[in-house]
Amino acid sequence: MPRDTTFNPCWLNRTDDDGIALSKWLTNGKTTKIFKCLLCKTNDLDCSNRGWSAIEQHMKTKSHVGNIKSLKNNSTFVIGPASTSNEGVIPTSHLRLGALKQPLILDFQEQVTKAEAVWALTVAQRAFSFNSCNEIGDVFRTMFPDSKIAKEFNMQAKKVSYVLSYGLGPHFHQELVKSLKRNDKFVLCFDEQTNNQNRKQLDLLVRYWCFDQGRVVTRYYKTILLGHATAIVLKNAILDALKTDGLDLKKLLMLGRDSPYVNLSLENMIEAEMEKIGGGLLKIGGCHLHVVHNGFKAGLLSTDWHAQNKCIDLYVWFKRSPARQEDLVDIIEDFNTLMEKTLLYFTSTRWVLLGKVITRVLTLWEPLQEYFLVLLPTKEKKQIQKNDRYDRIKLSLTSYTIKIQLQFVLFLCETIFDRFLTFFQQEAPLIHLLYVELSALYREILVQFLVPDYVGNKTGNELLNLDFKLKEKQLNNKQIRIGESTRKLLMNITQKEREDFFEDVRTIYHAIAQYFKNNLPLNCSFVRDMQIFNPSFKSAEYTHELSRIAKAIPGFLTDTEIDHIRDEWINYSLENIDQKWFVEGRQDDGYGNEKIIFHRIDFFWNHVLSMKMVDGRPKFPILGKLIKNILIIPHGNADIERGFSINENIVTSNRSNLSNTSINALRSTYDGVKFLGDGSSHKVYVNKDMIKMVQSSHLLYKQDLNSRKAAVEQLEKKNEEMLQVDEACKEILKEEGELLSNQKDLQQQLQASQIITEATERLQIAIKKKDNLDMDRASILIDGGNMRNKSINEQLVKVTEDLIKIQKKRKDAFDQLHRLKRQKCSTN
């Protein structure tokens, strides 16, 4: 414990075991080294030696526990002097437990609104349908006939919908945006899936440092429904979302994404937009959990085992046949009534989960053999005749080689991959452990088939530089790791089959190692450097790594801040840190060894960064700025994929008409319940702002309905105008066509006229012959031809003038039509 610990104002943001904010009964004393409890009316209590532990000790005292218990029983307590009536302060010295949790006393109507808000929170959190809320008020009135609030409670389907869409959902979203604007940086995580509406649903999550809770949090931000999901479409959707909420693009630290090329293109496009405004993205690759899954997949696909297909065949056989399932269950109960009775589904996007599917198949191996090899051939002959799936299943269940292959795949999952993937499924920040854990994973793959001394305890680039294909470094068939359960089964196959099996095993190991070598970020200095934020790296020797990290974030710290951060790190390394800040507890690991349970890394750093100088200034202001924005870097994309499960509960097949507004409101409210109520709607603190939003939701709903109605009317008006203009355009085009046809006819007539030419030739001949009569006739013909051409030219000039007018009219009409189309799109 640091010497001379002072009262930390951050303690006031915490809650005790009863969910009561400490700020309601904990206060600083006359000096910074003492505190008081308003509930227990204590004198000054010292915290200079034990710090937070002194607060915890007081909370466990018999008197304090008794006071809390009395409050639960609605006993009245005097808690200090009465305060003046200010917003957020209760203007009385007599407080009950309910008052401790509320900043203001609620009148009756506000209590009714609060009850309705809590029910709406429950609907969103439990994914109840809106229609299920019809008559819920009558149910409550029947259950609680003496409740005045129940008598006024009214939450029908429509009301629940607009309370969520125009009240609670926007409230939680607005509060989230306010939090993001307080931060220097945030991470935007995204992924898309096709929902039950057959639309691409782009989900956006944000990861940031929450000052109120003193930790890293991942929150739902927004859902955008799309048709096409190209990189340019995703880019525009994301930029528009941030712009709508007034979020500065420069605050974007990085994108949390998986590895498809369209997401890589999107990352490059976002970075290009940020560079235009003097910003930049931190880029350390895609989701590393995807890389691990894909490495396992690369190994399995390097052979012709097709273990996943064998599991899928078994699952599909029973999937939609209750009769088949019943027959299998009967056989299983004959073997063991406690045995699991259903097969599991394999999803092709999570390859390592194949291990759990195989576990169930191997557990049911003998009942499956009894079903497929005995029951069906004797009682269901027609069902299996010319059935390709049955033939494949029969081959699998009669082949010891296939059973051995499945057992080896299970060994890979359970021994190597499961621990890593389970560990990194956590929401807690783990980026500081990523490098060492990825190194350990790659090393563990290598030592399965390579001589251990060759691999040694190497990490990072040292591992990447190993040539794992060197023949002399390979383990022989007796040494290569395949798992004891797998090795015991080898006695049931021939020598040739064993040799083929071991050859396939080496192929699998090599394929996994090659994929990891090509894709794991073990040569990324930034990922390697971030391990210094582990408490075990508390040493002045890591200042160079710290400087590299500070410089790697585009435009984040100034040169002066980077200079100062080195000194702050040295001061941190010299501090005497309480072990309780990073060790949560110890327990037995089941083998007689002690296992240390560590706090989240942000818990540790929140304590360290809350330390103050003698004059009250933070000890590590610049270091805190950096660390709070480093710990938000995601170690994978598991958070957003957990949201896909939430989507499946919200946008079900019978709720496919939910609007984008409703989906956003339901997800925002679900996230709010998780964040503020730890997943329980009744634990969410319903404050005045939330109540006001619920009360105003009907007005906002009506305003939106009127806006939509006006938009529809405007759209209909535009459609009618477009039809009129379109008809006018058709008439103009028809008239223009007629004029063009006349112009063409006149031009052809003018070109086809031979009268003047023939008459001129005849006149010349008559002059030579001095035939006066013929000269007169020729002259008459010439005059007649000139008159005819003049008439045609006059007509042609008129037609051309009309054409110019009609073409201008056509241009104006089409311009008007295009303008109306643009206005229609804007209205939509």
Q: Cα dihedral sign for 361, 364, 365, 369?
A: negative
pLDDT of residue 722: 76
Which parts of the chain register pLDDT below 50?
1-2, 74-103
pLDDT of residue 6: 78
pLDDT of residue 562: 93
The answer to whether 474 and 506 are in contact (CB under 8 A) is yes
Instruction: Tell me how far apart the alpha carbons of residues 124 and 647 are, in angstroms, rounded to a whole number.
Output: 11
The answer to whether 189 and 197 are in contact (CB under 8 A) is no
**Run of H or E including 218:** strand 215-226
The answer to whether 39 and 64 are in contact (CB under 8 A) is yes
N-to-C CA span, the chain: 63
Angle between the N-to-C axes of helices 52-59 and 62-72, in degrees from 0 to 180, rounded to the nearest 10 = 60
pLDDT of residue 502: 96
Counting every residue written for the chain, the total comes to: 828
Q: What's the predicted TM-score (pTM) here?
A: 0.75
Q: Return the amino acid letter for 411.
A: F
Q: Considering all CA atoms of the chain, what is the largest pairwise distance in Å, rounded to the nearest integer? A: 148
List the one residue out of 434, 428, 418, 185 whose CA is nearest residue 287.
434
pLDDT of residue 755: 64
